[in-house]
Structure 1
Amino acid sequence: MKRALVGDIGGTNARFALWEDNRMHAVQVFATADYTSPEQAIGAYLADHGLARGELGAVCLAVAGPVDGDEFRFTNNHWRLSRQAFCKTLQVERLLLINDFTAMALGMTRLQAGEYRTVCDGTPDAGRPALVIGPGTGLGVGTLLSLGEDRWMALPGEGGHVDLPVGNAREAQIRQQIENEIGHVSAESVLSGGGLLRLYQAICALDGQPAPLQSPAAITDAALAGEPVALAVIEQFCCFLGRVAGNDVLTLGARAGVYIVGGVIPRFAELFLRSGFGASFADKGCMSGYFKDVPVWLVTAEFSGLLGAGVALQQAG
C-alpha cells in the first residue's frame, strides 16, 4: 500500500508528515514564503525524505477556508491550488482538502497524556458535542461529534465572527471603544493575535494611558513580567474568551467538553489558568448551573491539525 501524506497549511508555515498504519511520522515545517505553491513545498518534503513523485497514494491537506470546487485560494498566504493540477504534478491518486478547523477538531481525538491541561473540572458526556475553540491568527470555532466505534464528525463553522458578548459595564465600554475604531466588533476582533493588540489599545485609550507596546508578543512578555496594564489586558482577553465559549456551549449543548486550542493562549498558559475565564464561562444567569460538569481543557499538543488530517484520511477509507 502506498504512503499517504498529511499537511496543515497556515499563513506562515506549512506542516507535512507521512501517514502510515494510521500513525503520523517524519513531521517537517516549511515557511510558505519560501515556496511558490504547495506542490513545490511538498516536492521539497519528498526529496528530503528520499521519496519520488508517484509514491504517495493519497494526500490530505488542512486549509483555511471553504473547500468546494477544483480551485482553492489560500486566504492567508499567496498559494493557490487546483485539485486536478495538484494530483497530476505530484502523481497522487487522491487529494482530500478539509477545513483547517475540521482537522483541528478531529485532532482532539488523538490527544495523549501530557498534551492538555485541565482548566475546568467536569465529566464529559460522550453522547453530546464537544466545542473546539482557538484564538490564533483569527478565532477558530468547530464542533466535534462522536459517531461511535471510534468514528468522528467535525462540523466547521464561522463562530469566530459572532458578535463579541459583554457581561458588565466595563466590557461594554471596551466594546464601544473598539466599535468607534473599526465598526462591527466580532469575537475575532478581540480574540486573536491582532485582537490582543486592539484590546490593549482600547483599554489604554479608555483609561487615558499611553500605549507603548506595539505587538501581541510585547503585551504577552510584559504581562509575564508583571506589568499591571498588560496583566489587565490578558485578564480581560481571558474573560471575553470565557463568555464566547460559554455562549457556544449553550448553543451546541456541548457537554462533551471544551478544547481551547490555537497559538495565543499557550503563550501565557499560567496566567490563563489563574484568570477569570472559568467565572465568565459559566456567567449565564439562570443557566449558570448548566456548566457545573462541563470540562474545559487547554491543548498544548504541537501538531493537532496534522493528526486531524490523518484521522480524516483514515475515515475517508
Structure 2
Amino acid sequence: MSVSLVGDIGGTNARLALWRDGQLEHVRVLSTAAFAGPEQAIRSYLDTLGPHAGELERVCLACAGPVSGDEFRFTNNHWVISRTAFCRDLGLSDLLLINDFSAMALGVTCLRKDELLDVRPGVVVADCPRLVLGPGTGLGVGTLLPDTRGGWHALAGEGGHVDLPIGSEREADLWSYLHRQLGHVSAENLLSGSGLVSLYRASCALDGKTLRFDSAAEVTRAALEGDAQAIAVLEQFCTWLGRVAGNAALTLGARGGVYLAGGMLPRFADFLVASGFLAAFQAKGEMSGYLMHIPVWLVTAEQPGLLGAGLALQRSLAGESPMISGLADDV
C-alpha cells in the first residue's frame, strides 16, 4: 500500500502526517534539533507508525524560507535538503517543496468557522486578496489571490523580513537600541519567539529594569499573570504586529481579510484582541479609512500548515498548480 507524507517544517518543530483521501492521519510533532536532517526525522516518524505507514511514495514539505533549485537551506534551523539526495535516500521519484506560509495560506481556505476567532468582524470584499501572517520561530507572511474559477492562488514571499516600522517615540527608542545590536532591524527580529525576548530585553534596558525572564513563554506567562513590565512588552509586541499587518494589507489591497496564524498568538488570544493591535493596524493617516472595515481573524486550528501541504500535494498529483485551492466557506 502506497502512502503520501506531508510536512510543515519551521525553525523549531517538524510537523509530519500521512495524507490519505484528502485527510491528515497520524500527526506527529518532532523537534528539528533532535535530527541531523529531514530524512532522519521522516524515517523516525515512519518507524513509529509500523504497519500503518505503508510504502512511502509521495512527499510534500512546507518549509520556512524561499524555495527554489535543488538545495534548500532552512532559515531558522540547521537542516538542508537536496531534492536529489532526499529522493534517492527515501526511494522517491519526486519531492514537492513549498514555502511554509504558502501552505498556511492554502490551509486557511479550508478551515471551519469554529477554527477562526474574530479579532475584528468586518466586510469581506469579494475578489480581493487576503493576507496570512503570523509569528512563530520566525514571522511568516503569505498572500491569497483570487483566480477566475472561484479558487485561490497562494503567493510565496518573505514579508517577515521587511524593515520594522516605527510609529512612536518609544518605538524609535527601542529601534535605536536594537539597531546598535543588529544593524538592520527586520519585523521578524521583534515579531517572533526570539523577537519577543529581544523586545523584553530592550525594554528592560531602556526602563532600567532587571531581566527576569529568558524565553517567550516566560514573558507571555508573566504578562497574563499581571506582571507590569511583561504586560507592557506584550502590548508593544501586539502593537508592532498591527503596524506590520496594516502595512502589508495596505500594500496588497487585502480587503478580503487578514488571517493571523502561527504558533504564538493563540496562547494569548484574549490579550491580543484587547491590545492596541487594531489601532496600530489601521493607523495609516489619510488611508486609515481603507483599513477600518477589513475583517481580521485569528487562526485557532491545530495544523493549517499541514493541511495546506496536503492540498498542494493533492493538486500537484491531479496535474494542476499546487498553489491553487478552493475556499470551503466564505467567512
TM over 0.5: yes
1:55-78 Cα deviation digits (max 9, x unpaired): 233210111222222222333333
SS at match of 1:166: coil
1:299 and 2:299 aligned: yes
Distance of aligned partners of 1:222 and 1:308 in 2 relative to their CA distance in 1, 3 Å threshold? same
Which residue number in structure 1 is paired with residue 216 of structure 2? 216
Question: Matches of residues 160-239 of structure 1 in structure 2 within 5 Å?
Answer: 160-239=160-239
Quick one: distance in 2 between partners of 1:53 and 1:311? 20
Range moving further from structure 2, 6-15 or 128-137: 6-15
Quick one: distance in 2 between partners of 1:99 and 1:183? 27
TM-aligned CA deviation for residue 11 of structure 1: 2.7
TM-aligned CA deviation for residue 40 of structure 1: 2.5
Quick one: distance in 1 between partners of 2:56 and 2:253? 40
One-letter code aligned to 2:60: C
SS at match of 1:127: coil
SS at match of 1:50: helix
Which residue number in structure 1 is paired with residue 141 of structure 2? 141
Quick one: distance in 1 between partners of 2:154 and 2:177? 36
TM-aligned CA deviation for residue 243 of structure 1: 0.7
1:274 and 2:274 aligned: yes
Quick one: distance in 2 between partners of 1:192 and 1:73? 19
SS at match of 2:50: coil
1:107 and 2:107 aligned: yes
Number of matched pairs? 317
SS at match of 2:308: helix
Range moving further from structure 2, 76-85 or 21-30: 76-85
Range moving further from structure 2, 5-14 or 224-233: 5-14
What TM-score do the two structures reach when normalised by structure 2?
0.89
1:278-315 Cα deviation digits (max 9, x unpaired): 11111111111112320001112121111110111122
Range moving further from structure 2, 63-72 or 50-59: 50-59
Which residue number in structure 1 is paired with residue 50 of structure 2? 50
Quick one: distance in 2 between partners of 1:53 and 1:276? 47
TM-aligned CA deviation for residue 149 of structure 1: 4.1
TM-aligned CA deviation for residue 207 of structure 1: 2.3
Q: Is the 8 A contact 1:3 1:55 kept in 2?
A: yes
TM-aligned CA deviation for residue 51 of structure 1: 4.8
1:74 and 2:74 aligned: yes
Q: Is the 8 A contact 1:105 1:143 kept in 2?
A: yes
Q: Is the 8 A contact 2:260 2:297 kept in 1?
A: yes
Quick one: distance in 2 between partners of 1:182 and 1:72? 25
Quick one: distance in 2 between partners of 1:126 and 1:309? 25
TM-aligned CA deviation for residue 173 of structure 1: 2.1
Quick one: distance in 2 between partners of 1:299 and 1:139? 15
Gaps of 5+ in 2: 319-331
One-letter code aligned to 1:47: D
Q: Is the 8 A contact 1:53 1:90 kept in 2?
A: no
Quick one: distance in 1 between partners of 2:53 and 2:265? 39
1:7-66 Cα deviation digits (max 9, x unpaired): 112233221111122222221222233333322322232333335998233210111222
Distance of aligned partners of 1:74 and 1:244 in 2 relative to their CA distance in 1, 3 Å threshold? closer
Quick one: distance in 2 between partners of 1:4 and 1:185? 40
Distance of aligned partners of 1:212 and 1:48 in 2 relative to their CA distance in 1, 3 Å threshold? closer
SS at match of 2:124: coil
SS at match of 1:179: helix
Range moving further from structure 2, 270-279 or 176-185: 176-185
What TM-score do the two structures reach when normalised by structure 1?
0.93
Q: Which runs of 4+ in 1 moved over 6 A?
A: none
One-letter code aligned to 1:136: G
One-letter code aligned to 2:141: V
Aligned-pair Cα RMSD in Å: 2.0
Q: Is the 8 A contact 2:3 2:56 kept in 1?
A: yes
One-letter code aligned to 1:252: L
Range moving further from structure 2, 69-78 or 131-140: 69-78
Gaps of 5+ in 1: none
One-letter code aligned to 1:97: L
One-letter code aligned to 1:158: E
Distance of aligned partners of 1:176 and 1:81 in 2 relative to their CA distance in 1, 3 Å threshold? closer
Q: Is the 8 A contact 2:3 2:54 kept in 1?
A: no
Quick one: distance in 2 between partners of 1:139 and 1:165? 14
Q: Identity of aligned pairs, percent? A: 59
SS at match of 2:5: strand
Quick one: distance in 1 between partners of 2:47 and 2:234? 43
SS at match of 2:78: coil
Distance of aligned partners of 1:54 and 1:299 in 2 relative to their CA distance in 1, 3 Å threshold? closer
TM-aligned CA deviation for residue 197 of structure 1: 1.5
Which residue number in structure 2 is paired with residue 240 of structure 1? 240
Quick one: distance in 1 between partners of 2:52 and 2:221? 44
